[in-house]
Amino acid sequence: MEPDPPSRAWTPIVDAGSREPRLLDRVRLAIRARHYSLRTEEAYVAWIRRFILFHGKRHPVEMGEAEINAFLMDLAVRGGVSASTQNQGLAAVLFLYRHVLEKPLPVLADVVRAKRPQHLPVVMTRAEVRAVIGRMGGTPRLVAMLLYGSGMRLLECLRLRIKDVEYGENRIVVRDAKGHRDRVVPFPIVLRAALASSLSRVKGIHRRDLATGLGSVFLPDALARKYPRADREWGWQWVFPAEHRSRDPRTQVERRHHLHETVVQRAVKQAVRDVGISRAASCHTFRHSFATHLIQDGYDIRTVQELLGHKDVKTTMIYTHVLNRGGLGVRSPADTLWRAIPTGFPDSRQLRSRPNPLRQEIPPSHQLEAGEKFDEDLGDSDDDY
């Protein structure tokens, strides 16, 4: 079952004309005017509050580059945060100065910007994907299969509406994804029956909510005012609704939200632990595996870029690491000297019995032909990536 929604300390924004909004309320107004998400709003407000408290509650208008750098240095040195976390704090503070205080910072080049390291994504093999999903059940299992079968992000999947799943075209329309762009992803045929059964149960929940006078869902961009009855229509309901109703933190209206992401995250984490995968696999690993396996199957990089919704093909190029097997496709010279020895590395007697490679060529019997012995001895296969 879904956990109760976390309580959020929400400070309502004052009405226009009553009094001048406080600084953090002005931050919220600036964020909402730009149609940023609620998660971005909460994160930015938290970072700005943390920045002010770090400098003894001094007003930001009295501070500048020196105070920003001191804050960022403390995050990196004393806090030990990652580069992405440090840059998120910087983005929030810069938003405060640019869009709320409207105070230009004269020398942005002097602001500390952490360099994010480039890591290869964690990818599960096809057998590992099958094993992990096999250990799951219920709605989390269905969500995990959609993540791997379509390449969606977790929240993109949980925010799907009934109308976005097109059975006739075998496709799913991802609305307002990262970067505020829509895209189309494949709808796995193997999930048609399972998802239809799940939607039948969801429809029963929706009918019961309507019978109690509820049954509405959140609609973006003032659509609820344009179409007063649309929030109760079947097509706008969540594909994966929450088990319990909760209150919207902005409007305080009681609605049934979509399934909380922690429900799926915990189920995936437990399944990964049960299978015995030592790598840090998560819900996002299904997306990495989707892209990697498509490239292994011969799909071109532009197609994968479009399915993933990447703005730049350079972001998608990281998945081509599967083509650079063994370090840019180079076979280790050790594999041409020795066959795989079951007991470990060759000992001194085995080395002395070998011909001196400096005096004569390696006998053909010690070389690999067509890679067959390599695959058999060292277990080289697609499942290793």
Q: Which helix (H) or strand (E) holds 41?
A: helix 38-54
Among 247, 250, 284, 373, which one carries the catalytic annotation? 284
How far apart are the C-alpha atoms of 364 and 29, rounded to whole Å? 75
Most confident option among 9-23, 61-75, 142-156, 354-368: 142-156
Structure tokens at 96: 């405060």
Q: Residue 65: pLDDT band by 50, 70, 90 thresholds?
A: confident
| Res 341: pLDDT | 52
Task: Tell me the average pLDDT across 220-232.
Answer: 84
How far apart are the C-alpha atoms of 250 and 224, rounded to whole Å? 15
Choice between 81 and 140, residue whose per-residue pLDDT is larger: 140
| Res 368: pLDDT | 39
Q: Tell me if residue 376 falls in helix, strand or coil.
A: helix
Mind listing the domains of the chain with CATH numbers?
Answer: 23-110 (1.10.150.130), 121-323 (1.10.443.10), 331-384 (no CATH)
Task: Tell me the average pLDDT across 138-166.
Answer: 95
Q: Residue 372: pLDDT band by 50, 70, 90 thresholds?
A: very low
Pure H helices in 276-331: 283-296, 301-308, 313-316, 325-328
Q: Is the dihedral of CA 192, 197, 202, 206 positive or negative?
A: positive
% of the chain beyond a pLDDT of 70 = 75
φ and ψ at residue 169, rounded to 5 degrees:
-100, 0
Reply yes or no on whether the pLDDT at 221 is more than 60.
yes
Name the nearest CA neighbour of 316 among 297, 288, 296: 288
Among 258, 287, 288, 293, which one carries the catalytic annotation? 287
Strands 171-174 and 183-186: antiparallel
Contact 191, 212 (CB under 8 A): no
Q: Residue 226: pLDDT band by 50, 70, 90 thresholds?
A: confident
Task: Tell me the average pLDDT across 370-380.
Answer: 37
Catalytic status, residue 178: yes
| Res 336: pLDDT | 66
Catalytic status, residue 255: no
Tell me the CA distances in angstroms from 327 to 101, 169, 199, 324, one per residue in order.
Answer: 50, 41, 46, 6
350 residue type, one letter: Q
Among 44, 97, 148, 319, which one carries the catalytic annotation? 319
Structure tokens at 199: 């939607």
φ and ψ at residue 175, rounded to 5 degrees:
-95, 140
pLDDT in tens, 3-41: 444 444 444 455 545 567 899 999 999 998 888 888 899
Catalytic status, residue 36: no
Strands 165-166 and 171-174: antiparallel
pLDDT in tens, 67-117: 888 898 888 888 888 888 888 999 999 999 989 998 776 555 556 666 766
Name the nearest CA neighbour of 96 among 144, 140, 41: 41
Reply yes or no on whether the pLDDT at 307 is more than 90.
yes
Question: Residue 385, exposed/middle/buried by CB under 10 A (0-12, 13-18, 19+)?
Answer: middle
CA 43 to chain centre: 17
CB atoms within 10 A of CB 355: 11
Among 28, 141, 153, 161, which one carries the catalytic annotation? 153
Task: Tell me the average pLDDT across 267-285.
Answer: 95
Catalytic status, residue 39: no
- The C-alpha R_g of the chain, in whole angstroms, comes to 27
| Res 374: pLDDT | 34
| Res 304: pLDDT | 92
| Res 353: pLDDT | 53
Catalytic status, residue 26: no
Q: Residue 378: pLDDT band by 50, 70, 90 thresholds?
A: very low
Structure tokens at 188: 């796995």
End-to-end CA distance of the chain: give it in Å, rounded: 34
Among 178, 247, 250, 373, which one carries the catalytic annotation? 178
Strands 246-247 and 183-186: unpaired
Catalytic status, residue 284: yes
How far apart are the C-alpha atoms of 201 and 139, rounded to whole Å? 11
Pure H helices in 227-280: 261-275
Please report, to the nearest 10 degrees, the dihedral formed by the alpha carbons of residues 260, 80, 88, 44 taken in order. Answer: 70
Mean pLDDT estimate for the chain: 81
Q: Tell me if residue 258 falls in helix, strand or coil.
A: strand
Task: Tell me the average pLDDT across 356-370.
Answer: 44
